[in-house]
Each structure stands twice: as C-alpha cells, then as structure tokens.
Structure 1
Amino acid sequence: LLPLGVDFKFLPILSARIGDLLVFTFGHEMQFPAELVKRPCVETSRKIKLICIYFTITGLFKDAKNSILLNNNILGARLDNYSISGLKDMVNISFRHSPDLEKTDMTCVFWKEGEGKQSSGSWESDGCQTIREKTWVRCRCNHLTYFAVLMKISSAAIDEKLLAPLTYISIVGCSISVVASLFTILLLLRSRKEDNCLWQIHINLPGSVLLLNGTFLLAVALASEGPGCVALASFLHFSLLSCLTWMAIEGFHLYRLLVRVYNIYIRHYLLKLCAFGWGFPSLVVLCLLLIDRTTYGYHEIKFSTRNPNATISNSSALCWINSQMVQNVFVLGYGGVTILFNLVILILVARVIWGLRAKNCQQRTQGPMVFRDMLIILGLTVLLGTTWILAFFYFKVVQEFLFSIINSLYGQ
C-alpha cells in the first residue's frame, strides 16, 4: 500500500493508506481500491501522488445538453500521470444530498473529454453503477476521472418551447405591476389629507406587491452563485410571504366592515396589523436562515425537451428557495391557507352584498345593479388574491399561461 503525504485545499486526505475511507468537509466520500497502484508500483519506485479535487464551478463542465448536476458538485481523482481504467475493484464515490431529493431520478456519471474543438465534452455513465440510499448516492466506477451525479427532470416539467413566452409574460407583467403599484401608493398617500385612516391599512398591500415584483425581476436578472443571491432569495421569499399576509389582512378587514359591522373596535388596530403583516414574514425568513443558510440561493428551474436522447434539458435560474420542504410549507402551504381564508371571506361578503341588494333594489334598476355587484365581486376576487388558486391546479399549457398573465399583473 502506498503512503500519501499530500494535503489538498479542497479535499483533506485524512488517511495514510489507499483503501481507507477518505472523507472531506463537504460530506462526500471517496474510497480507492489497492488495485489502483499495482501497475504504477511495478513501473516506478518513487512516491506516487493521488490527486483529489472538489469542484462547485459548473462552467468548466458544461455539455451540449446543459445537464443538471446534484448540488453542482464534482469530484475528481487522478493518480499522477497514469490513465486508470478497467478496474476489477471499483472506486467508490459517495455524494450526500437532502432527504427532499430522495425520489428524484439520479445517475452517476463521469466527464468524457470531447474529441474535437466543437465539443468540450459530455457526461457519460459507462463503467459506473448507481446505488441509491436515503441521503446518499453511491457511485461505483472502474476508472479515475471527474465524477458527478446527474439529475433527471420529472415528466411534469415545463416544455422547453414555453420558456421564452412564459419568461416574457412574467417580466412584462411584473414590470407593469411595479408601475401600477407605485401609482396606487401615490394615490393612497394623496388621500391621507382626508379625514380617513383607511389609507394607512390599504397602502401596505400595494407596498408588498411592489417589493415582490421588483425583487422577482432582480432575482431573475442577477441570478448567480454567492451571498448576494442568498440575500436576494431570502428577501424575495419575505416579499411573497408579506404579500400573502396582507391579502389575508385585507380579507379580515373587509369581514369586519361588511359582515361583522358592530363591536369591531380593536385597540392599536393598525399597529397590530403591521406587526403581523411585516413581522411574521420577517420572523419566518430569519429562522430559516439561522437553521440552514443554504435554504436560499441559486435555484435552477428545469425544462423538458422533445429530444428522446437527452436525459437532461435546458434550464433557467433565479435566486430562490432550494429546499423543497420549505417551498411546500412556506410557499404552497401558506399560500393555500391564505387563499382558502379569503375565499371564505369572499363568499360571506358576496352574500351580504346580494342580501342588501335584494331588499333595496327596485325592479327597474335591478339589471344594472346586479351587473355592478358582479363587477364589485370580481374586483374583490382579484384584490384578495384568490386568482392564485390556479397554482394548485394543473391543466397543462392553459394553466401555465393563465397563472403567469393574471398573477404577474396583480397590483394594477
């Protein structure tokens, strides 16, 4: 067995013998068989260096398919200038991942250099076996090179051809919404001259919408790996939670004015609403950052392709949430509760409006009044954010475009 006397910046060698487990600080593992040095030991008497490298820079290993790698992690190993292949005893490479990815389709691959100038290389799986565990992907390969884990997209991914129009709709819609929200804020500030404190409540919703859409545009435009993206992603999540919270507050306020009517006084009402509307989202995001800073950061969105030979297709990126559990609980779950609450409020308000109209409306004006009531209900439907319910349904292209158009324009 060959002693190793080399320390590496990214992969500390903790063992003095080949065959022992080598563990580095990122949680991944590499294990080399003794067979690895049989030929080199016969050919030379000098010490041989086993070079191990850890990469997170994906730009060096981009193939034509824009393959998506697990956590963008790449492990490399090389034995001096020897080309090692066809090993009977496999090299074991283990990649740790989040339990959220347990059901994701993954394949162990290695980097194969391109043969010409037009091809830099590609990720291949020949000579590698994939063994799945709850939080590990175990790769057994018969050669030394650069290794990674390829993540395959799900069958429900967005079609690649829809990327450009959906992106265009989202950017244009959010840009219009930013301008409209700013205009609404200015109008509400102007109304403060009147003897009416309602503007102090209503100004918070367009304020949160302005933050949400503005941050979303920045999160798409400035998507990159680094602390700046983490900060942008966490603020985007805060803006979304604030927007959903103020939608629920608007529903609660509407309920007090039109349904409950009597005995609605609450001491320090505005202060309590603001503390909940802005404080609760801040607390959620702060706790998530303290628990795990990697919850936020560079997030890739995968798109399907019609090419049957491509295992991984193109992708887009933004600064967003990387944890699927956090998305399920604090995006879908929180949004679902908010929408359900406001749907109940909307039904109660509609009953009150139609009940009053049935008592007071004369026959000759009933038609115009009904039409006006329908417009009021439609406006409240948008105001309370119940159109976001489209996120919980899936009817392919129609749903994707309806959700993008309606909700990117929210705030006009």
Structure 2
Amino acid sequence: GSGGWSSNGCFVKNTTDDETVCACNHLTSFAILLDLSREPLISRVQATILTFITYIGCGLSAIFLSITLLTYLVFKLRKDTPSKILIQLCVALLLLNLVFLVDAWLALYPQAVGLCISTAWFLHYFLLVSFTWMGLEGVHMYYALVKVFTDNLSHYMLKFSLVGWPMIVVIIVIAIDKDNYGLVSYGRFPDGTSDEL
C-alpha cells in the first residue's frame, strides 16, 4: 500500500550464502539502462513490444514538450523565474527524448563507433541535465515557499544555469577513460541477433 516493487512476476533465480539473484518480467526497457549483468534478451516479442512503447512514449513526450515550449515562448510567459526554470527543464527533456529516439536509428550502423560513443555521451549529458533542472526546480520552490523572506539572490538564473548545464561532469568522465562510453553488446538474443525492427 505504500509503494515499492511489485513481487508479481518475480522469482528467485539463484541463491548462495552471499547473495540472492531475482528475476522479474514486468520492468520496462528503461531498466536495460541499469542492467549491469548485460544478459541477453529472453523474448523477441517482448523486446519488440517494449521498443514500440519506448518510441511512442518518447515521441509523445517530445511533441508535448515542444508544445509547452512554444506556448511559453509565443505568449511571452518567460518573464518570471519559475517560467525560466520550466523552460530550461523542458529544453533538457526535449533534447533527451530526441537523442533517445535518434539513438535507435544510429544503432542500425554498428560500424559508426564514433556516432555511438557521441550518442552515449549526449544521452548521459541530457539525462544529467534533466535531473539537475528537476532538482533546481525543487530548490527554487523551497526558496519561494519556505524561505519566503530571504534576500533576493543576485544573478539567480545565471547561477542556476551554471549548475543546471553541468558539462564538466561528462567531460571528466570521458577524460578519465575514453572507453567509458564504449560499445557494450547488450540487447542481443542468445543466437546473436538483435531486436531490430
């Protein structure tokens, strides 16, 4: 009743004295981003369904984020700070969705390793930017609702923008090891084929 992972469709795969490995059949394809084991996909039908759900979800999200941005820009609703923060968040989410949609198309060209690495870099960056702007939205709400009578911060949006677009993080990651965004063969079935449509 208070939230959490559903145990429906989950089973114990392996148990030792040190660890227990569970498997579930109800996660979305976004869970592949966190799949550290990189095990092959089980069912081609499930992979196809999850791929279509992902495309439809990202496409609808991109359309409505574009409508939101156009509304704020056309009707000049961008004057106050909350609107500016929302516009930055919408831009970050729109770019994340567009890179995610283009990523599937670029995956059809496995010989273009540079494109794959740059796409992974952009996915990492725009996901980080989206999380950062969501956090900054929360910080601004805290200042607006809890610390109502605080001093007006100078260059408020400039400071938020420096924190909200943290390019230095992904630059450090790629500077440490250029193979951090390397190719990993996941999303393949046991026979070696992929889930291409």
- In the alignment, structure 1 residue 202 sits paired with structure 2 residue 82: no
Residue 42 of structure 2, aligned match among 136, 159, 164: 159
Change (3 A) 1:222 1:267: same
Alignment of 1:241-320 (within 5 A): 241-263=128-150, 265-278=152-165, 280=166, 282-302=167-187, 314-316=193-195
Alignment of 1:130-209 (within 5 A): 154=39, 158-160=41-43, 161-192=45-76, 196-209=80-93
Give, in angstroms, the shift of residue 199 of structure 1: 2.0
Change (3 A) 1:297 1:220: farther
Structure 2 gap segments, 5+ residues each? 1-36
Instruction: Tell me the equivalent position of 1:239.
Output: 126
Please give the secondary structure, in 2, of the residue aligned with 1:205.
helix
CA offset digits 1:214-246 (Å, max 9, x no partner): 001111110224212211210111011001111
Structure 1 gap segments, 5+ residues each? 1-151, 305-309, 318-412
Q: CA RMSD in A?
A: 2.5
Alignment of 1:48-197 (within 5 A): 154=39, 158-160=41-43, 161-192=45-76, 196-197=80-81
Question: TM-score by structure 2 length?
Answer: 0.70
Larger radius of gyration: 1
Structure that is richer in helix per residue: 2
**Identity score, percent:** 32
Contact 1:215 1:236 (8 Å CA) reproduced: yes
Give, in angstroms, the shift of residue 295 of structure 1: 1.3
What amino acid sits opposite 2:123 in the alignment?
Answer: L
Residue 211 of structure 1, aligned match among 59, 80, 95: 95
CA–CA distance in 2 between the matches of 1:169 and 1:252?
Answer: 33
CA–CA distance in 2 between the matches of 1:264 and 1:170?
Answer: 44
Give, in angstroms, the shift of residue 283 of structure 1: 0.8
List structure 1 runs of 4+ shifted beyond 6 angstroms: none
CA–CA distance in 1 between the matches of 2:92 and 2:78?
Answer: 24
Structure that is richer in strand per residue: 1
Alignment of 1:379-390 (within 5 A): none
Please give the secondary structure, in 2, of the residue aligned with 1:284.
helix
Please give the secondary structure, in 1, of the residue aligned with 2:138.
helix
CA offset digits 1:101-142 (Å, max 9, x no partner): xxxxxxxxxxxxxxxxxxxxxxxxxxxxxxxxxxxxxxxxxx
Contact 2:96 2:123 (8 Å CA) reproduced: yes
Greater relative contact order (CA < 8 Å, ≥ 6 in sequence): 2
Residue 115 of structure 2, aligned match among 212, 228, 231: 228
Please give the secondary structure, in 1, of the residue aligned with 2:183.
strand
Give, in angstroms, the shift of residue 313 of structure 1: 5.9
Please give the secondary structure, in 1, of the residue aligned with 2:186.
strand
